[in-house]
Structure 1
Amino acid sequence: MGKIPSSFRSSRLPVSTMLRNPKSVPPEQHQSSTPTPTPTPTPPRTRHFPKKSTFNKRPPKHPTLTQSPRFTFDSPNLSDAKTLFNSLVTSFAASAAQDLNFLNSILQSFAAISTLSDSISLFRHMIKTHPPFSPDRSTYHILLSQSCKSPDSSLSPVHQVLNLMLTDGFPPDKVTTDIAARTLCSVGREEDAVELIKELSCKHSPPDTYTYNFLVKHLVKSRTLITVNNFIKEMRESFEIKPDLVTYTIMIDNVCNTKNLREAIRLLGVLAEEGFKPDRYVYNTIMKGYCKLNRGAEVLSVYKKMEEEGIEPDIVTYNTLIFGLSKAGRVKEARKYLNVMAEMGHFPDAVTYTSLMNGIFREKNVNASEALQLLEEMEAKGCSPNSCTYNTVLHGLCKLKLLEKGIEFYGVMKAGDMKLETGSYGTFVRALIRNGRIAEAYEVFDYAVESKSMTDFAAYSTLESTLRWLKKAKEQGFVV
């Protein structure tokens, strides 16, 4: 990142860009009694809002199914596959020919390009002609995964493999259920996954919590809330499979993303009824929901609720709180939490400062020097401004008609190879054109395209529409 120009330091001199989860580098904890943070060479990365991927993390996938095949078939022809298999097992050393992973990789390679029927035929041929091949459950799971991707819109191919497993002494277990559910969802067959989950649950192979929450996570993205609630209710009543804290967190995150905060609050009540205590992540999600609804001031009540319940805030909590308060025009109040978070061992990062700058530029009586001083404070405390920080300041300077300062700031961004965000790009280009600096506007357009800040079409549309406005304004005598 570029350094702040000297002309900006202690300047007496304004942005409504939305923060988009910029990554930042928090300073190292200061060892003295004062809360002032100091720089650190290798800090961890943080985000303004929690990653969605933190939901439902499970142990590593089954190794047999994730290994790359050691051999690849070029033809889906069954006869050729059988001949090639015979040749392979006779040409390899005895240890390799008896290696189950190697033999599974052969079947997996053929299954990737053949029909299920031909894969099963090759599977039977391998058992018959090569006695050292003793398939285990993972072998059948290769066929099961293929059956779930079958072009047949019914579950008949899946039932065919499950029956084969049962006949050969490998009744479906929780791993079987997991593979089937995940593979069906991967090809957009969530309803079939639900149907199969219910069927397997009846046959004493219910999903574990990882599979159950995985399916709920998929359903909330592709089905109505009523459908998801009905699924949860049926699994509870019919199979005694109850949602856990992760399940409710997935649900709460989803309704917050769709701005259905009423349902999120209802789910909080359900959590309490079920005997679960909301954790930090649940509250952070609720706070994020208030921000999305432009009710940033209400994040403070959530923060206080966390304090009452003895739940320790993290960096995400403080960043969301500061973002919400700043967005609601309560910048002075938000700034107070810089010291609070430092006292708790969570030092302000680029996201924290950018949120405050964003709030400053949104105030009615904007004081640009306050934002620039905050920028200087960032560097003084070892916190490097990121691309979002610079875009926020560029946007604000142009909105305040401080074009010369904006141009200087753009130079710092360009020197640091930072991308322009759509909002700051549009505001900057319009400011240049309205001040008759057409050539410079074209140069900014070229940089936006070359740096892949946005699509060529988006960049050109902004430039072209502003030029049309300028032409029309001149014709009407508004611009000389």
Structure 2
Amino acid sequence: MGKIPPSFRSAIANPNLRNPSSLFRPQPHHFPNKHQQPRKPSKQQQKPSSLPLFKSPNLEDAKKLFNSIANSSSDPRFPNSLLHSYAKLATTPSDSIKFFNHITKTLPSFSPDRSTFHILLSHASNNSNLLSPIHQTLNLMLAAGITPDTATADVAVRSLCSAGRLDHAVELIKEFASKHCPPDTYTFNFLVKHLCKSSTITTVYAFIDEMREKFDVKPDLVTYTILIDNVCNGKNLNLREAMRLVSVLHEEGFKLDCFVYNTIMKGYCVLSRGSEAIEVYNKMKEEGVEPDLVTYNTLIFGLSKSGRVTEARKLLRVMAEKGYFPDEVTYTSLMNGLCRKGDALGALALLGEMEAKGCSPNACTYNTLLHGLCKARLVEKAVKFYQVIRAGGLKLDTASYGTFVRALCRDGRIAEAYEVFDYAVESKSLTDVAAYSTLESTLKWLRKAKEQGLAI
């Protein structure tokens, strides 16, 4: 943090202050040239500066503290800094407003500005299930001759959304649009995105339609992209609805960008519908939209998942021609496709090609190969990959852990299976219950198989 001005030195001794320097913004660092030795920071500079200004949310303590340092600085930002610091600790928004009123009465020279009220609004949803603190703040703002604007609406809406109060955010944004000003596209799209996460798509559509009809707030390309992303992801995957939204985009004169196409392709790929993903890719090129690395990785993932690994590998050449080079995601998708087809050795060969081209495998790569090798009954090679995972401190995913434990038990290597269980728990790859449940069910299966003469 920056240095404390001389006028504040008296405040440092105040026992109610934890960290007075947090009132100020960091000063720019001055880097020494190569002939200078960097100065070692003093002990005072090395102290952490993230602690709050006030020790307690008690309003009376805050007032006393303010009274003791009210005239310590002529910096116009000083009251706002104190207000912000206290508002973060205040038990209720009402206490923050009372502290604000105390500041204005105690310090007549203080003239609250827009940022002052935005501080109150940003904390107005804390520990409250009512909109009254926000209304009270807006009334104080109007009384001070400051008209709420789009930035004001944004601060209030984001505060409510962060507190999970989406119904109140919707109510407030409508109120703003009717009394003050309609929200800008940033605030509108922010709220749409949050609604998509927690509400039905029908509810989101109803909100968008009402904002358009009553307040002339129209959805833009970003809005439709949020909607398409929502219907293409998660459990309620609805590609028909995604394509309908694409038609609406065209009707309203928007040109789809790469992100929209990639999102739709990903939806088809999740369903292992590689042919439809290719159709979207071709449509994308027809519309003059240049594919990016995500496009190619998405297609390779989808084709590999559909068992069309040969076609997926051909895209590597297309990528290189367009200036995009395969990364760990590309190679891991291809390895997954090869392992699905039972060609674990082909996946191993691809790992060699990957490393030869300077692309480093990641935890997902190793887990994919571990799973594939176990499925192919190549236990010794699987053990080697497990050792790589362990040596690198990487996590085991659920599928590879379960498959590996079963492969070891089937091979009669019970002690090694227990060791893998220990590592899974120690590395927090799985919860204790999940890891033990998998091991226990495998051992039960093994005992039953031995009784039936199906295992040695």
Settle same-fold status: TM greater than 0.5.
yes
Please state how far the C-alpha of 1:71 moved relative to its aligned partner.
Answer: 6.1
2:342 aligned with 1:371: no
Partners of 1:420 and 1:279 in 2: how far apart? 36
Please state how far the C-alpha of 1:165 moved relative to its aligned partner.
Answer: 0.7
Flag the structure with more relative contact order, 1 or 2, with Cα contacts below 8 A and sequence separation at least 6: 1
Please state how far the C-alpha of 1:116 moved relative to its aligned partner.
Answer: 3.2
Please state how far the C-alpha of 1:271 moved relative to its aligned partner.
Answer: 0.4
2:218 aligned with 1:233: no
Would the alpha carbon gap of residues 69 and 180 (structure 1) be closer, same or farther in structure 2, given more than 3 Å must change? farther
Secondary structure of the residue aligned to 1:276 is coil
Which residue in the other structure is 2:34 paired with? none
1:391-450 per-position Cα deviation (integer Å, ceiling 9, x unaligned) = 111111111111112112222222222221111111111010011111111111122222
1:286-340 per-position Cα deviation (integer Å, ceiling 9, x unaligned) = 0111122232332111111111111111110000001101111111111111000
Which residue in the other structure is 2:7 paired with? none
Partners of 2:232 and 2:25 in 1: how far apart? 34
2:313 aligned with 1:332: no
8 Å Cα contact 1:220-1:228 kept in structure 2: yes
Which residue in the other structure is 1:78 paired with? 59
Please state how far the C-alpha of 1:124 moved relative to its aligned partner.
Answer: 2.2
2:224 aligned with 1:248: yes
Partners of 1:175 and 1:290 in 2: how far apart? 39
Partners of 1:340 and 1:120 in 2: how far apart? 61
Partners of 1:344 and 1:439 in 2: how far apart? 51
RMSD: 2.0
Please state how far the C-alpha of 1:244 moved relative to its aligned partner.
Answer: 0.6
Q: Which amino acid aligns with 1:117?
A: S
Unaligned runs of 5+ in 2: 1-22, 27-48
1:435-473 per-position Cα deviation (integer Å, ceiling 9, x unaligned) = 111111111112222222222221111111111111122
1:128-162 per-position Cα deviation (integer Å, ceiling 9, x unaligned) = 221232211111122222323352x3322221111
Which residue in the other structure is 1:344 paired with? 322
**In the alignment, which of 360, 364, 375 is matched to residue 338 of structure 2?**
360
Please state how far the C-alpha of 1:70 moved relative to its aligned partner.
Answer: 8.4
Which residue in the other structure is 2:287 paired with? 309
Would the alpha carbon gap of residues 142 and 471 (structure 1) be closer, same or farther in structure 2, given more than 3 Å must change? same
Would the alpha carbon gap of residues 359 and 156 (structure 1) be closer, same or farther in structure 2, given more than 3 Å must change? same
Would the alpha carbon gap of residues 260 and 87 (structure 1) be closer, same or farther in structure 2, given more than 3 Å must change? same
Partners of 2:374 and 2:164 in 1: how far apart? 46
Please state how far the C-alpha of 1:221 moved relative to its aligned partner.
Answer: 0.7
8 Å Cα contact 1:71-1:105 kept in structure 2: no
Which residue in the other structure is 1:273 paired with? 251
Please state how far the C-alpha of 1:362 moved relative to its aligned partner.
Answer: 1.3
8 Å Cα contact 1:69-1:108 kept in structure 2: no
Would the alpha carbon gap of residues 85 and 357 (structure 1) be closer, same or farther in structure 2, given more than 3 Å must change? same
8 Å Cα contact 2:141-2:147 kept in structure 1: yes
Would the alpha carbon gap of residues 169 and 355 (structure 1) be closer, same or farther in structure 2, given more than 3 Å must change? same
Which residue in the other structure is 1:4 paired with? none
Which residue in the other structure is 1:223 paired with? 199
Which residue in the other structure is 2:156 paired with? 180
Length, aligned pairs only:
409
Please state how far the C-alpha of 1:285 moved relative to its aligned partner.
Answer: 0.2
Unaligned runs of 5+ in 1: 1-63
Please state how far the C-alpha of 1:65 moved relative to its aligned partner.
Answer: 12
Secondary structure of the residue aligned to 1:477 is coil
8 Å Cα contact 1:150-1:157 kept in structure 2: no
What is the 5 A alignment of 1:131-170?
131-151=108-128, 153-170=129-146
Would the alpha carbon gap of residues 172 and 65 (structure 1) be closer, same or farther in structure 2, given more than 3 Å must change? farther
More off after superposition, 126-135 vs 224-233:
126-135
Would the alpha carbon gap of residues 70 and 168 (structure 1) be closer, same or farther in structure 2, given more than 3 Å must change? farther
Would the alpha carbon gap of residues 331 and 141 (structure 1) be closer, same or farther in structure 2, given more than 3 Å must change? same
Q: Which amino acid aligns with 2:424?
A: A
1:149-179 per-position Cα deviation (integer Å, ceiling 9, x unaligned) = 352x332222111111111111111111001
Partners of 2:395 and 2:335 in 1: how far apart? 19
Partners of 2:436 and 2:258 in 1: how far apart? 44
2:99 aligned with 1:118: no
Task: Please give the TM-score of this superposition, normalised by the length of structure 2.
Answer: 0.86
Partners of 2:195 and 2:348 in 1: how far apart? 46
Q: Which amino acid aligns with 1:262?
A: R
Would the alpha carbon gap of residues 122 and 420 (structure 1) be closer, same or farther in structure 2, given more than 3 Å must change? closer
Which residue in the other structure is 1:418 paired with? 394
Q: Alignment identity in percent?
A: 67
Q: Which amino acid aligns with 1:108?
A: H
Partners of 1:432 and 1:71 in 2: how far apart? 54
Partners of 1:83 and 1:369 in 2: how far apart? 74
8 Å Cα contact 2:79-2:110 kept in structure 1: yes
Which residue in the other structure is 1:55 paired with? none
**In the alignment, which of 272, 279, 294 is matched to residue 294 of structure 1?**
272
Which residue in the other structure is 2:33 paired with? none
8 Å Cα contact 1:259-1:292 kept in structure 2: no
**In the alignment, which of 241, 256, 260 is matched to residue 282 of structure 1?**
260
Task: Please give the TM-score of this superposition, normalised by the length of structure 1.
Answer: 0.81
Would the alpha carbon gap of residues 138 and 373 (structure 1) be closer, same or farther in structure 2, given more than 3 Å must change? same
Please state how far the C-alpha of 1:66 moved relative to its aligned partner.
Answer: 10
Partners of 1:419 and 1:114 in 2: how far apart? 41
